[in-house]
Structure 1
Amino acid sequence: MLTAIEAIGTARLTIAACILVAYIIFTFWCLRPARRGSRPSIDGVRDARTASTSTLVAYASQTGFAEQLAGQTAKSLGTASVASLADLTADDLPTVSQALFVVSTTGEGDAPDPAARFVRDSLSRQLPLSNLRYAVLALGDREYDNFCAFGHRLDAWLRHQGATPMFDVVEVDNGDEGALRHWQHQLSVLSGKPDLADWETPRYERWRLADRKLINPGSAGDPCWLVTLTPGDNVQPQWHAGDIAEIDPRNSTWTDGAALPHREYSIASVPTDGAVELLIRQMQRPDGQPGLGSGWLIQQAAIGDDIALRIRPNTNFHAPADDRPSIFIGNGTGIAGLRSLLKARVAAGHFRNWLIFGERNEDRDRFFGNDLDLWQREARIEILDLVFSRDQPERRYVQHQLIERAPLVRAWIAAGASVYVCGSLQGMAPAVDAALHQILGADLVEQLTVEGRYRRDVY
């Protein structure tokens, strides 16, 4: 039997042992590898493997702005998982079918610090990403030489892995609101939700509806109208060929304060015309109601009415500053953006122009035919290829014309030509891209993209 002194000693040893064990456990806990606070986002990536309707929104943020925009992007889409590139591995991407990347550029064209591991471990690898559809929102500042460099590096790597871009990189200069609204417009197309609210309402100016003319009566397609808008008092508009008109349907921000989502249209005119001209196809919703923007400009607003309009720079689709050869490819209302580029080229005395344009029937859908005929007669357009899909038994589109002209396409590209594509995001744009890959090869198409010689404005 223990004496009192021995019992006290034994108790002290027990207490000391407990304290030592507790200390070891505490030390192990403190020194364990830290779990990233955003790790739950990876669960979203795992879920995306089995959820066919889900989209991955991945971000690389230095100051938090890209992370904020990634969250807004996911909210707009409705069904999307959000993850930092810091928490993604190369094994995650092949399991995802659709991904949107919102990435910043820091320093001299570098990735944000949290994305360093992804850059080291993933961008140096070859991955099977042929089933991945993606888009990139690149944030940067044009005051730096390597503007949006990481966004473009990521885009180039994804293309090399066989991934398919849903649309071209959207560049955002120092938080530019117009570029962010363009990103939102593309989200509305991808999600099939045309009424997505703008994150920030544009600051509109007052223009007037000066004229409205149906230009394809009897067409097998939906009616197309040439809408002419003139600047209101105290409006001194300036824009470049290739820029975009943003319209506020029903002038909602001036009337009841319930702001409606804006609508974007390619500008078909140049400033010397004195007016903004838009080629608008009359759209109908599934319930038979007119489209929000086209319904306002074609059916509701009266000639002479004020129209809330803002011109958004679209620098990625501006005409070449020099006289290099240029190939312009488009369909439908995409001729509007191409017409403005051709007007600018003709005015500058640059005549090595090749237009490939497609619509349904020549007798109904030869948009801006007078302009095109005049430019061709005066040798302002070197080659004019018009492709009408319904004028022969077999369907024929602009991509077929491209492939038939493959030797000439290669010759123009070898001579330094740029390629501009405007029109349908679904159907035409990917078909033209596939045709160019077939004619030129993937490496040369990528080189053209990097050099800014392959530019698209598709919707």
Structure 2
Amino acid sequence: MSSFIQIPEDAPFSAEQRVWLGQFLSNLLAGAATSAAAAPAGPAVPVTIIWGSQTGNSEGLAKKLVKTLKKGNFEPEVFDMGAYDRARLPQEKHLLVITSTYGDGEPPDNAAELYNWILSDAAPRLEGVQFSVLALGDTNYPDFCKCGIDFDTRLEQLGASRIFQRVDSDVDYDGPFKQWSEGIFSVLAPAGAPSSNGAAAVEQVETGFSKKNPFPSAIVTNYNLNGEGEKQTHHIALSLDGSGLEYEVGDALGVFPENPASVVDEILAALPFNTKTSVPLPDGGEADLREALIRNYDIGNLNKSLIQKWQAKSGSPFLRSLVQADDKKSWDDFCWGRDLIDLVVDHPADFTDAEDFVGVLKKLQPRLYSIASSPKAHPGEVHLCVGIVRYNTYGRKRGGICSTFLSDRAEGLKPGVFVHVNKAFRLPENGDTPVIMVGPGTGIAPFRAFLEERKISGAKGGNWLFFGNPYSATDYLYGEELAAFQKEGYLQRLDLAWSRDQKEKVYVQNLMIQQGAELWKWFQDGAAFYVCGDASRMAKDVDAALHTIAEEHGGLSKDDAAAFVNQLKKDKRYLRDVY
């Protein structure tokens, strides 16, 4: 197998350019351009791809890579980590790992069992296995790409060797995926196929509306579901007429927001250079700095990477001490409740011009919202249930960029939208299967869609919903609709947890424990279990309640209860849409 020439990281090229140049020089020196066409194909090269995905991104990239491999002399296999037979791991020749990280550095649900096993003492030695890891993450979270990093580190510890170095991807994963896949092909292609069948084929032309080409959608309906009080949860209906976009219940809608113009103007007034100028945009082209900050750059999130770049341009002793200490708690404490405006005003930096300034900023990313409608019930529309985030910190009124955009700034506009397919959160194919849904707060969104879909499709299986919020009088989202579903016989059981209506707080997990015996009967009847909402607390508490029910009402030991829950996940009977 030919070696891949590594271009030094300090060479004056981008990461993608270094990979391309390394591949070009490797092929040139090896005479690959002529020998590949003349040489016999030989036996197909085995490649195994395993993916861990919470919302479908890693799965999509894995399947995209398989299509490319099949165009060459490769024998690819692709596995959901939850379905992968770990006994075959020591026999793998070429193992490619694509995984995301979510929550507080946690593996995706389908990857958790394999992740915990491979990090344990039970994992076997893996000499002879060649591997590479693509790690997906979000630099707004402190444990960026932790799951992929842990896989990469552990595989090496177990004796496996890298085909190509790990690539860590931020939210925009297309560029890193291209870099990673081309790097792999530069090594494997000489054995598997001409390189032209490999790296060049990774790029596929997209047609229609998508994340790269969002559909400008008119807002049809926009109102607050809550009663009187400070809490706001908006029901938002957007038009899909003429878009060609299709979705299924369980999918999410991506929405491209705009930053508040008032905050952008305050930033511009505090910058020490000429702001009446154009700047390059993250995806190419250029725009006026003000428009770019409103529509294209993230001004609402602070993270470690941004602060490190900012500190290099700033004389702030505080930022310097923060960067030098590199303490996780200190990072978290400083970033929480602060935005870019706080750096601009409180820790001025010496940027030479507008282009230098936007060079440290991230691209403004779309937000994903669980779809709250069935396309069969609302043809040509898509519905969202959006909690409007507002808070005061450090003497400023602040809010969620996308939620306040939809509630306060989107009137008369057509936000760019796209459908994010989530095959990991689908209704059972058999409509006779009972369904248990746990969705407090805005977690109700996909379950409104589920109930609409089950009603229209004539599903005969029972439906059980656990919903919760602080106060019944003001926070009963879609209460009238749920009552109608009950009256019509489509919602057999409805358990409501109002955490502030009485002295002792009551949450959905408390009601699950109370109804444990009946829940266990539903599981014995083959019920599928769904959870949507907060990942950090609610989803963990619900998971713990599920283990308790298996122990108390199933008579299982702690280990057997854990095995039961894991089997539910493997059988796609325990699915989560958590954030």
**Residue in structure 1 matching 2:382, options 259, 276, 299:** 276
**Residue in structure 2 matching 1:154, options 90, 106, 114:** 114
* Structure 2 counterpart of 1:230: 239
* Structure 2 counterpart of 1:449: 569
Mapped pair 1:320 → 2:424: no
1:183-222 equivalence runs, <5 A: 184=137, 188=140, 198-200=172-174, 202-219=212-229, 222=231
Unaligned stretches of 5+ residues in structure 2? 1-5, 7-45, 52-57, 59-74, 94-103, 122-133, 145-169, 175-210, 260-280, 297-362, 551-560
1:51-90 equivalence runs, <5 A: none
* Structure 2 counterpart of 1:43: none
Pair 268,64 (structure 1): closer, same or farther in 2 beyond 3 Å: closer
**Residue in structure 1 matching 2:406, options 297, 306, 310:** 297
Q: Secondary structure at the match of 1:438?
A: helix
How far has the Cα of 1:65 moved from its partner? Answer: 11
**Greater length-normalized contact order (CA 8 Å, ≥ 6 residues apart):** 2
Does the CA-based 8 Å contact 1:219-1:361 persist in structure 2?
Answer: no
How far has the Cα of 1:235 moved from its partner? Answer: 0.7
* Structure 2 counterpart of 1:338: 447
**Residue in structure 2 matching 1:435, options 542, 545, 552:** 545
1:357-376 equivalence runs, <5 A: 357-376=467-486
Pair 384,312 (structure 1): closer, same or farther in 2 beyond 3 Å: same
Does the CA-based 8 Å contact 2:49-2:76 persist in structure 1?
Answer: no
What code does the residue aligned with 1:315 have? K
Mapped pair 1:263 → 2:385: no
Aligned residues between the structures: 315
How far has the Cα of 1:160 moved from its partner? Answer: 9.6
Does the CA-based 8 Å contact 2:50-2:78 persist in structure 1?
Answer: no
TM-score, structure 2 normalization: 0.48
How far has the Cα of 1:116 moved from its partner? Answer: 3.4
How far has the Cα of 1:371 moved from its partner? Answer: 1.1
CA offsets per residue over residues 338-386 of structure 1, 9 Å max, x none? 1111211121222500001111111101101111001101111111111
Range with greater deviation from structure 2 (250-259 or 390-399)? 250-259
How far has the Cα of 1:191 moved from its partner? Answer: 5.5
Does the CA-based 8 Å contact 1:358-1:386 persist in structure 2?
Answer: yes
Q: Secondary structure at the match of 2:480?
A: helix
How far has the Cα of 1:117 moved from its partner? Answer: 8.9
- Separation of aligned partners in 2, 1:327 and 1:269: 18
Does the CA-based 8 Å contact 2:256-2:415 persist in structure 1?
Answer: yes
- Separation of aligned partners in 1, 2:488 and 2:533: 26
Q: Secondary structure at the match of 2:563?
A: helix
- Separation of aligned partners in 1, 2:536 and 2:427: 24
Q: Give the % identical residues.
A: 29
* Structure 2 counterpart of 1:56: none
Mapped pair 1:241 → 2:255: no
Does the CA-based 8 Å contact 1:353-1:380 persist in structure 2?
Answer: yes
Does the CA-based 8 Å contact 2:47-2:77 persist in structure 1?
Answer: no
* Structure 1 counterpart of 2:517: 407
CA offsets per residue over residues 375-407 of structure 1, 9 Å max, x none? 101111111111111111000000000001111
How far has the Cα of 1:296 moved from its partner? Answer: 1.3
- Separation of aligned partners in 2, 1:399 and 1:205: 39
Q: Secondary structure at the match of 1:203?
A: coil
Does the CA-based 8 Å contact 1:319-1:344 persist in structure 2?
Answer: no
CA offsets per residue over residues 26-58 of structure 1, 9 Å max, x none? xxxxxxxxxxx9xxxxxxxxxxxxxxxxxxxxx
Pair 108,226 (structure 1): closer, same or farther in 2 beyond 3 Å: closer
What code does the residue aligned with 1:354 have? W
- Separation of aligned partners in 1, 2:218 and 2:226: 24
**Residue in structure 2 matching 1:288, options 397, 405, 411:** 397
What code does the residue aligned with 2:458 have? G
- Separation of aligned partners in 2, 1:431 and 1:425: 9
Q: Secondary structure at the match of 2:547?
A: helix
* Structure 2 counterpart of 1:387: 497
Does the CA-based 8 Å contact 1:156-1:446 persist in structure 2?
Answer: no
CA offsets per residue over residues 65-121 of structure 1, 9 Å max, x none? 99xxxxxx9xxxxxxxxxxxxxxxxxxxxxxxxxxxxxxx96475799x973999xx
Does the CA-based 8 Å contact 1:198-1:262 persist in structure 2?
Answer: no
Does the CA-based 8 Å contact 1:197-1:260 persist in structure 2?
Answer: no
- Separation of aligned partners in 2, 1:111 and 1:288: 52
Does the CA-based 8 Å contact 1:136-1:155 persist in structure 2?
Answer: no
What code does the residue aligned with 1:237 have? L
1:131-170 equivalence runs, <5 A: 134-136=106-108, 151=111, 154-155=114-115, 157=117
How far has the Cα of 1:218 moved from its partner? Answer: 2.5
- Separation of aligned partners in 1, 2:140 and 2:451: 29
Q: Secondary structure at the match of 1:240?
A: coil
What code does the residue aligned with 2:382 have? V
CA offsets per residue over residues 133-155 of structure 1, 9 Å max, x none? 631498xxxxxxxxxxxx57614
- Separation of aligned partners in 1, 2:425 and 2:120: 24
CA offsets per residue over residues 202-228 of structure 1, 9 Å max, x none? 4311211122101113346x3111111
What code does the residue aligned with 1:347 have? I
Pair 231,316 (structure 1): closer, same or farther in 2 beyond 3 Å: same
* Structure 2 counterpart of 1:45: none
- Separation of aligned partners in 2, 1:458 and 1:367: 19
Does the CA-based 8 Å contact 2:48-2:77 persist in structure 1?
Answer: no
What code does the residue aligned with 2:365 have? P
- Separation of aligned partners in 2, 1:300 and 1:400: 38
- Separation of aligned partners in 2, 1:204 and 1:219: 35
Pair 189,395 (structure 1): closer, same or farther in 2 beyond 3 Å: farther
Range with greater deviation from structure 2 (447-456 or 272-281)? 272-281
RMSD between superposed Cα atoms in Å: 3.9
What code does the residue aligned with 1:342 have? L
TM-score, structure 1 normalization: 0.60
- Separation of aligned partners in 2, 1:411 and 1:376: 21
